Chains A and B, each alone.
Chain A
């Protein structure tokens, strides 16, 4: 069953390498160009300024909360999409995944008309004394809105490819649906869940358009790292470049760590 034979790798035509190299260059060159622009003599000073530290801290905090919210709502959504069959499911999936392709500014406008002071939900909340506009909550809402589809998408794929055979076995062994979910389904799709969380976190970290439109920009409250970069770009391009590099490094760290800690998928075929 687990006899591993080293298969001879299928040979790829050489021109594929040429185009692949071109693509890789296309992606990495702007990064190199940006790094070349960094003012190293003032780098530390630039990224440790009060506003930079506040922005980075806020970004990490809000992205972490947004990721948790993505898990709370995204896991059930992925389960429903992957494991049930009902009329209109395709349409629902398309709608749920919409923020993925929506320009963030459009998302921001939509959120504004939902949670804004005069929005669909916001106006009622305002009556109750809850104000979302210009608060850190607004940032988290914007980030969750754009990041949620990433988690749903990658987890739904994982659940589908894991199949339901283990779940069926677990049920015949007397496990109730809740137990099956907790002890079988979720552990089996853990790699998919982790990669979904990483994608969501990275997306939340980079979220700019919806936040700008919907949440505002105030140091320590709503001005996340991308908004700080956007502002510094106007006033102090050196700072903008330095902070951009910080954002890149944080993103690379998150993706890299998650990739390393990803558990090996078990004997599931």
Chain B
């Protein structure tokens, strides 16, 4: 069985073009359904509450499909700037939201809808016997923080400043998930993570609240994305800030804005 190479060349070219065409047609079909669908980009820590809110929204708006993309806020911001189609963006910090807003990718003003607080996370059973924030500055204690470049690390730095102590971290992780992982596995004696992370981690991580955390509150803003489905976007934002949404967020450990 032999195909003349002319035909094969055309075939391979067609494949390449076909791939491009597929991408375009997918975009148009999405645009056609735009009024019936809602895409929400939300910080990873919002996964459980937002998933539930999405189901509620679909129930009260029959025919509407809510799609979520949960990831680190920075990743989502990068995707938005690269033109990813979204209707709502909920960030885990104001800095990232400001970055997106500066690119004029946001409709109107971002609305704060929740806060998150740092807490000391320790592995189950607290093997190192941590009781206070000061214990973290003990040189024998293995503490894992987020790197100062990322929001949870910035908050950790603020808390240290407020408490007037210096924590010598054995590792500065790039995301709060990585920090939590090191605590959960018992590699670290303690770490600074969010209250919501500890709650989500269940029994494997215990939280120890400390007063200076209040100086390092993280505010979560939400906003409609420019060029998106503004009607449903506003509807979802309203649900998040409604008493129902706020109750769900409080249950997950978030504070009021």
Instruction: Please provide the chain A residues from 110 to 166 with a CB less than 8 Å away from any CB of chain B in the complex.
Output: 112, 116-118, 133-134
Assess whether B12 is in contact with A232, with CB atoms less than 8 Å apart: no
A: number of interface residues (CB 8 Å): 30
With both beta carbons as reference points, the residue of chain B lying nearest to A223 in the complex is identified as B172
Partner of A235, one of B149, B169, B171, B178: B149
Instruction: Please provide the chain A residues from 212 to 266 with a CB less than 8 Å away from any CB of chain B in the complex.
Output: 212-213, 215-219, 222-223, 227, 230-237
Assess whether A216 is in contact with B144, with CB atoms less than 8 Å apart: yes
Assess whether A231 is in contact with B174, with CB atoms less than 8 Å apart: yes
Assess whether B147 is in contact with A15, with CB atoms less than 8 Å apart: no
- A116-B186, A116-B187, A236-B149 as given contacts; A216 in contact with B173, CB under 8 Å: yes
B: number of interface residues (CB 8 Å): 30
With both beta carbons as reference points, the residue of chain A lying nearest to B8 in the complex is identified as A15
Which residues of chain A are near B16, meaning CB under 8 Å? 22
Assess whether A134 is in contact with B170, with CB atoms less than 8 Å apart: yes
Task: Report if B74 contacts A (CB, 8 A).
Answer: yes
Greatest chain A CB density within 10 A among B8, B75, B174 is at: B174
How near does chain A come to B42, taking the closest CB pair, in angstroms?
17
Assess whether B178 is in contact with A212, with CB atoms less than 8 Å apart: yes
Separation of A216 and B187 alpha carbons in the complex (Å) = 10
Partner of B169, one of A14, A116, A118, A218: A218
Which residues of chain A are near B75, meaning CB under 8 Å? 234
Assess whether A218 is in contact with B187, with CB atoms less than 8 Å apart: no
Task: Report if A32 contacts B (CB, 8 A).
Answer: no
Which residues of chain B are near A232, meaning CB under 8 Å? 149
With both beta carbons as reference points, the residue of chain B lying nearest to A214 in the complex is identified as B187
Assess whether B172 is in contact with A217, with CB atoms less than 8 Å apart: yes
Partner of A218, one of B8, B172, B178, B185: B172
Total A-B contacts with CB atoms under 8 angstroms apart: 79
Task: Report if A101 contacts B (CB, 8 A).
Answer: no
- A15-B12, A213-B181, A216-B144 as given contacts; A230 in contact with B174, CB under 8 Å: yes
Assess whether A217 is in contact with B174, with CB atoms less than 8 Å apart: yes
Task: Report if A19 contacts B (CB, 8 A).
Answer: yes
How near does chain A come to B153, taking the closest CB pair, in angstroms?
9
Assess whether A118 is in contact with B149, with CB atoms less than 8 Å apart: no
How near does chain B come to A16, taking the closest CB pair, in angstroms?
9
With both beta carbons as reference points, the residue of chain A lying nearest to B95 in the complex is identified as A235
Which residues of chain B are near A217, meaning CB under 8 Å? 147, 171-174, 178
Separation of A216 and B188 alpha carbons in the complex (Å) = 10
How near does chain A come to B171, taking the closest CB pair, in angstroms?
3
Assess whether B5 is in contact with A235, with CB atoms less than 8 Å apart: no
Separation of A38 and B75 alpha carbons in the complex (Å) = 19
Assess whether B171 is in contact with A18, with CB atoms less than 8 Å apart: no
Assess whether B171 is in contact with A134, with CB atoms less than 8 Å apart: yes
17 CB contacts below 8 A, A to B, read A15-B3, A112-B185, A112-B187, A134-B170, A216-B182, A217-B172, A218-B170, A219-B172, A223-B172, A231-B149, A231-B172, A232-B149, A233-B78, A234-B72, A234-B74, A234-B75, A235-B147
Apart from A19-B12, A217-B172: 13 A-B pairs, beta carbons within 8 A: A14-B9, A15-B5, A112-B185, A116-B185, A116-B187, A134-B187, A215-B171, A217-B147, A218-B170, A222-B171, A230-B174, A231-B174, A234-B149
B positions within 8 Å CB-CB of A: 3, 5, 8-9, 12-13, 16, 72, 74-75, 78, 142, 144, 147, 149-150, 169-175, 178, 181-182, 185-188
A positions within 8 Å CB-CB of B: 13-15, 18-19, 22, 112, 116-118, 133-134, 212-213, 215-219, 222-223, 227, 230-237
